A and B are shown apart, each in its own frame.
Chain A
Amino acid sequence: MVNRILVGAHYGLKDWIIQRATAVVMAVYTIVFLIVVAAVGPDSFEAWRGIFANGFMKFATFLFFVSVFYHAWIGVRDIWMDYVKPDGLRLLLMIATAAVLVGYAGWAVQILWRM
Chain B
Amino acid sequence: MAEMAIKKKRPKNLDLPTIRLPLPGILSILHRVSGAGIFLLLPFLLWLFQGSLVSPETFASIRSVVAHPLAKIVLLGLLWFYMHHFCAGIRYLLLDLHKGVELDAARLSSKIVFAVSIVLTLIIGARVLW
Chain A residues proximal to chain B, CB less than 8 Å: 20, 23-24, 26-27, 30, 34, 45-46, 48-49, 52, 68, 72, 75-76, 79, 100, 104, 107-108, 111, 115
Q: How far is the CB of B53 from chain A (nearest CB, A)?
A: 4
Mark out the residues of chain B between 9 and 59 whose CB falls within 8 Å of any chain A CB in the assembled complex: 32, 35-36, 38-39, 42-43, 46, 49-50, 52-56, 59
Task: State which size class the interface on B falls in.
Answer: 20 to 34
- Minimum CB distance partner of A49 in chain B: B53
Q: Is the CB of A79 within 8 A of B93?
A: no
Question: Of B39, B43, B59, which contacts A48 at CB under 8 A?
Answer: B59
Q: Is the CB of A52 within 8 A of B36?
A: no
Q: Is the CB of A48 within 8 A of B46?
A: no
Chain B positions 93 through 130: 1 when the CB is less than 8 Å from some CB of chain A, otherwise 0: 10010000000000000000000000000001000000
Known A27-B86, A48-B52: A75·B46 in contact at CB below 8 Å: no
Task: Tell me the complex Cα distance, A15–B13, Å.
Answer: 31
Q: Is the CB of B39 within 8 A of A30?
A: no
Q: Is the CB of B46 within 8 A of A45?
A: no
Residues in B with CB closer than 8 Å to A108 are: 46
B67 interface hit (Cβ, 8 Å):
no
Task: Summarize B's interface: helix, strand, loop or mixed.
Answer: helix
Q: How far is the CB of B61 from chain A (nearest CB, A)?
A: 11
Residues in A with CB closer than 8 Å to B55 are: 45
Question: Of B35, B54, B56, B124, which contacts A75 at CB under 8 A?
Answer: B35
Question: Of A27, A76, A107, which contacts B46 at CB under 8 A?
Answer: A107
What are 13 A-to-B residue pairs whose CB atoms are below 8 Å? A20-B96, A23-B93, A24-B93, A34-B124, A48-B52, A48-B59, A72-B35, A72-B38, A72-B39, A76-B35, A104-B46, A111-B53, A115-B53
Known A20-B93, A20-B96, A23-B93: A72·B86 in contact at CB below 8 Å: no
Residues in B with CB closer than 8 Å to A52 are: 53
B90 interface hit (Cβ, 8 Å):
yes
Task: Tell me the complex Cα distance, A22–B124, Å.
Answer: 23
